Amino acid sequence: MADRQRIDREHPIGGEMSDILSGLFRRFQLSYLLRHYSSIPVLALFSFMNGCLSIGIMALAALVTDAPFVFPSLGPTAFLLFYTPTAPPAAPRNVIIGHAIGAAAGYLSLAAFGLQGAGPAIAVGVTWSRVLAAGLSLGLTSGLMVLLRAPHPPAGATTLIIALGILRKPWQLGVLMLAVVLLTAQGFVINRLAGVRYPAWSPVQEEESTRPEPPRVRERA
């Protein structure tokens, strides 16, 4: 029964959060908690607290500045940063470029159909122009992320947020990208503090592939 309350590398229900927790517990010398780093309830509590902290910081910034630092696609990005931090979609390069592609594609789609000044679809209703803008924005985002090798699934939500008119002003898109950068920086600090090999920019696999191979030692006959 106790085994059902724990995870390991063979049971990835908790993603890489157990690695983050064990690293943090070691960093702060919490020997008692270290024995429970892979417990599912402890992982769930960590996920809860980290989610509150991640979005709470953005919500506080939004409250102080009266700017849209909180938007729906930030939630899945935060989850990726702390659930699978070494996976390619969670790398800083993919997070920032992915959301930038989504924001640009969404605004371009608004401009293509003359919707920059239209109200949000949820308030004024859905028109054919809005349908076409949404389709174009998601298509552009998906295609460009593949073309630029910067896949980040939450960016698909970002582009629809803009194409549907929820955020549509250029300054709002600037705030959106600032929030993405701040969240990525938070992910970098926490993961590196835990000793997780969270990349500085490109995905881990790409960084490893660019490293020079160590010299080979010739075997003596």
Quote the pLDDT of residue 141: 98
User: What is the per-residue pLDDT for 79?
Assistant: 93
Residue 211 within a domain = no
Q: Give me the number of domains the chain comprises.
A: 1
As given in the structure block, the two tokens for residue 165 are: 């008119």
Between CA 128 and CA 134 the distance in angstroms is: 10
**pLDDT confidence of residue 9:** 58
**Tell me, what's the pLDDT at 211?**
54
Structural domain of residue 76, as residue ranges? 2-201
Query: What is the model's pLDDT at position 217?
Result: 46
Task: Please check whether residue 128 lies inside any domain of the structure.
Answer: yes
Domain assignment of residue 67, yes or no: yes
pTM for the structure as a whole = 0.86
Which residue stretches of the chain have pLDDT < 50? 1-2, 11, 217, 219, 221
Q: What is the pLDDT of residue 206?
A: 59
Q: Does residue 35 lie in a domain region?
A: yes
Q: What is the 3-state secondary structure (H, E, C) of 135-169?
A: HHHHHHHHHHHHHCCCCCCCHHHHHHHHHCCCCCC
Question: 213 lies in a domain?
Answer: no
Report pLDDT for 219.
47
Residues whose CB is less than 8 angstroms from the CB of residue 97 and which lie 6 or more positions away in sequence, other chains included: 145, 148, 150, 152
Contact between residue 74 and residue 148 where contact means Cβ atoms under 8 Å apart: no
Whether 30 is covered by a domain: the verdict is yes
Per-residue pLDDT at 213: 57
Burial class (CB in 10 A: 0-12, 13-18, 19+), 192: middle
Question: Residue 113 CA to chain centroid, in angstroms?
Answer: 29
Could you tell me if residue 59 is inside a domain? Answer: yes
The pLDDT, as a whole number, for residue 208 is 55
Identify the pLDDT of residue 2. 45
